[in-house]
A and B are shown apart, each in its own frame.
Chain A
Amino acid sequence: MSDFITEADGLETQEFILNLGPQHPSTHGVYRARLIMDGETVISAENKVGYLHRGIEKLAEGITYAQFTPYTTRFDYVAGALQPWAWCLALEKLGNIVVPERAEYLRVIVGELQRIASHLVMLGSIVLDFSAITPWTYVFNAREDISDLLEAVSGSRLLVNYFVNGGVNADLPEGWIPKVEKALDSMLKRLDDFDRMVSGNEIFVGRTKGIAVVSAEEAIEYGITGASLRASGLTFDLRKDSPYSIYDRLDFEVQSMPAGDSFDRYYVRLLEIRESAKMVRQALKQLPAGDIRAKVAKVWRPAPGEAYAAIEAARGIMGYQVVSDGTVKPYRVHMRSPSFCNIGIIPAKAPGLTLQDFIAFIASLDFVLGDIDR
């Protein structure tokens, strides 16, 4: 092989197209990035989504309000319990329903537990994308306890259908509260182990610090919300800035990180888990007795009109627009899902990244395909 090329001088390179996904573990679902590559470097990226589109907005027009509630858990299936909250808030605005105080507390407790579980999955999966398997087992061990708790209150572990129009489905089972305390203690211990193991790891830091930096201005321009926005130095959080439910009675800090790189998007979620654990403990302490559900007619006909409600879901602002024409079925349901807007930044930030950094970048945005495609 005397003609084997030994020098790169004069060697012509050629750009090529790489389809990352839709069947690829590091895209966390059926997401496809159409990448134009020059060797290991990304020249341009294009989002291709819609593989999981189920036409749920259209489906909602053919069923009653109560029948649609379980569907809402199917969008962001990693944070199933939080999803119906925005829908129920919109319905409660539409029908002027006052949710009992105890139900509001139960919503916050279950919602924050679900947020912890969701962020734990993100922490585990971003590290898993660097081929580190052990940390994944740490966070899933902690998430397991939370799944058990959610199962005890709602009957399901993943698609937690606990919130209903006017309150919650069921009261807490006996002996649940001590279990929460125990689960939070062991979760926080696991999280500290995880933090010590990963956050200072040279390989992890090398591949996330200073990678895909999103400035605060860019984040606002691109409509990024949730923890990915707070990683760019902003403290925008609907729980604090536009408090719904009983968040104004809880004492908590909005966590944010200054740099806006992949590492900060990872670390801000770790901080948020600790904050959410604080919130659950406070809400449990303040939990009043009383009804868990307002009286809502079985065949519910809201007055013609429309309502919009937005909450801080695990991935950002989840919003519902509900339009009623006075019948038992909604006239139009529109949902604003956080992941759908958050991925808009990918084509802008991908050029210049190596493929490995690109994987870390999309993992740090923490999107869920059910939330994008709906």
Chain B
Amino acid sequence: MRDITIIAAAIPAAEVKDGLLVVPAKEIEGALDGLKRLGGFMLFDISAVDRPTGSPAPQPAASTPGAAPGALAAAASAPASAVPGAAPAQSSAPAQPCFELSYRFMDMREKAKDVLTLRVIIDRDHPVVPSVARLWPAADVLEREVWDLMGIEFSGRLKQERILLKSDFVGHPLRKDFVAPKRERFPSPSWDRKAAEGGL
């Protein structure tokens, strides 16, 4: 892979944090355009993480040598963001409810491959980002999946419909505040009758 600092220099408003390319939400369109213009990147994955209590300080797990058992126990007993000792770098910004959206790329120009992750933190109340399906057609199905399961909207798409769940499904199940219904409604008269009688 091309050196990540060189890539970051070519992309507006991008910075390197723990091996990730981090871009502010406002600049995401320009950043992805810039990455496309650099050329040779294959978009192969888009994923999102729901953080209703805010994003914890970035901690590269791969390079953290076995944390002290005390810190582990403290982190286990309470959410990581609420424990000051467990997340010391937390203080720089107040924790806002957010989604962490990651675009993952493979550098097809270089023989040695590594995953390039472009990370953007987006507002949980207005989760809208511009679509990249016009730049990488691969994004079409990936964006549909993220919208379907996590409820992040991609603007500028021709159509935004569910891909894995059925079209009349309500809610986005991978959000942390999603409450799964005890039984899924099965569309049939006998089901409705039983439900009305309280038999389900």
Which A residues are within 8 Å of any B CB, using their own CB?
Answer: 47, 49-50, 53, 55, 57-58, 93-96, 220-223, 225, 234, 236, 238, 241-242, 301-308, 310, 317, 319, 321, 323-328, 331-332, 334, 336, 340-341, 343-344, 348, 373-374
Contact A223 B79 (CB under 8 A): no
- Of the listed stretches B9-17, B27-35, B38-46, B185-193, name the one at the interface; the rest are far from the partner chain: B38-46
Nearest CB on A from B109, distance (A):
10
Contact B173 A58 (CB under 8 A): yes
B55-69 interface mask toward A, CB cutoff 8 Å, 1 = contact, 0 = none?
A: 010011110111100
Contact of B60 among A305, A327, A348 (CB under 8 A): A305
Contacts A49-B163, A307-B62, A326-B80 given; indicate if A223 touches B136 (C-beta within 8 A). Answer: yes
Which B residues are within 8 Å of any A CB, using their own CB?
Answer: 42-45, 47-50, 56, 59-62, 64-67, 71-72, 75-76, 79-80, 86-87, 102, 104, 106, 108, 111-115, 117, 136-138, 140-142, 145, 149, 162-166, 173-174, 180
Contacts A238-B113, A321-B47 given; indicate if A374 touches B164 (C-beta within 8 A). Answer: yes
B71 closest partner in A (C-beta): A303
A50 contact set on B, CB distance < 8 A:
162-166
When chains A and B are docked, how far (Å) is the Cα of A343 from the Cα of B140?
11
Contact B86 A57 (CB under 8 A): no
Contact A336 B44 (CB under 8 A): yes
When chains A and B are docked, how far (Å) is the Cα of A374 from the Cα of B164?
9
Contact of B64 among A221, A242, A305, A334 (CB under 8 A): A305
A302 contact set on B, CB distance < 8 A:
61
Contact A308 B136 (CB under 8 A): no
Beyond A326-B76, A344-B137, 15 additional pairs, beta carbon < 8 A = A49-B164, A50-B164, A222-B138, A223-B42, A223-B138, A301-B76, A303-B67, A319-B45, A321-B47, A321-B49, A323-B49, A328-B76, A336-B104, A344-B140, A374-B164
Nearest CB on B from A230, distance (A):
13
The 3 A-B pairs of least Cβ separation, nearest first, read A223-B138, A305-B61, A326-B75
Nearest CB on B from A295, distance (A):
12
Chain A-chain B contacts (Cβ-Cβ < 8 Å), number: 130
Contact of B165 among A53, A93, A94, A223 (CB under 8 A): A53
23 contacts between A and B (CB under 8 A): A50-B162, A50-B165, A96-B66, A223-B136, A225-B44, A236-B106, A241-B113, A242-B113, A242-B114, A303-B64, A303-B66, A303-B72, A304-B56, A304-B61, A305-B60, A306-B49, A307-B61, A317-B44, A325-B80, A326-B72, A328-B76, A336-B104, A340-B141
B148 closest partner in A (C-beta): A50
Contact A93 B61 (CB under 8 A): yes
When chains A and B are docked, how far (Å) is the Cα of A331 from the Cα of B153?
22
Nearest CB on B from A19, distance (A):
15
Contact of B138 among A94, A221, A326 (CB under 8 A): A221
Contact B86 A348 (CB under 8 A): no
Contact A341 B142 (CB under 8 A): yes
When chains A and B are docked, how far (Å) is the Cα of A127 from the Cα of B35?
41
Contact A308 B49 (CB under 8 A): no
Nearest CB on B from A226, distance (A):
11
A96 contact set on B, CB distance < 8 A:
62, 64-66
Interface of A is mostly: mixed
Contacts A50-B163, A220-B108, A334-B47 given; indicate if A324 touches B113 (C-beta within 8 A). Answer: no
Nearest CB on A from B98, distance (A):
13
B149 closest partner in A (C-beta): A57
A220 contact set on B, CB distance < 8 A:
42, 108
B87 contact set on A, CB distance < 8 A:
304
B75 contact set on A, CB distance < 8 A:
303-304, 325-327
Contact A93 B64 (CB under 8 A): no
A94 contact set on B, CB distance < 8 A:
61-62
B142 contact set on A, CB distance < 8 A:
223, 341
When chains A and B are docked, how far (Å) is the Cα of A37 from the Cα of B188?
32
B167 closest partner in A (C-beta): A50
When chains A and B are docked, how far (Å) is the Cα of A130 from the Cα of B14?
52
When chains A and B are docked, how far (Å) is the Cα of A114 from the Cα of B144?
31
A307 contact set on B, CB distance < 8 A:
61-62
When chains A and B are docked, how far (Å) is the Cα of A244 from the Cα of B27?
34
B178 closest partner in A (C-beta): A58
B79 closest partner in A (C-beta): A325
When chains A and B are docked, how far (Å) is the Cα of A47 from the Cα of B162?
12
A305 contact set on B, CB distance < 8 A:
59-61, 64
Contact B86 A304 (CB under 8 A): yes
Contacts A223-B136, A310-B115 given; indicate if A58 touches B165 (C-beta within 8 A). Answer: no
A322 closest partner in B (C-beta): B61
Contact B136 A221 (CB under 8 A): yes
Contacts A319-B45, A341-B141 given; indicate if A58 touches B104 (C-beta within 8 A). Answer: no
A372 closest partner in B (C-beta): B164
A97 closest partner in B (C-beta): B66
Nearest CB on B from A228, distance (A):
13
Contact B112 A242 (CB under 8 A): yes
B180 contact set on A, CB distance < 8 A:
58
B111 contact set on A, CB distance < 8 A:
241
A328 contact set on B, CB distance < 8 A:
76
Contact A236 B108 (CB under 8 A): yes
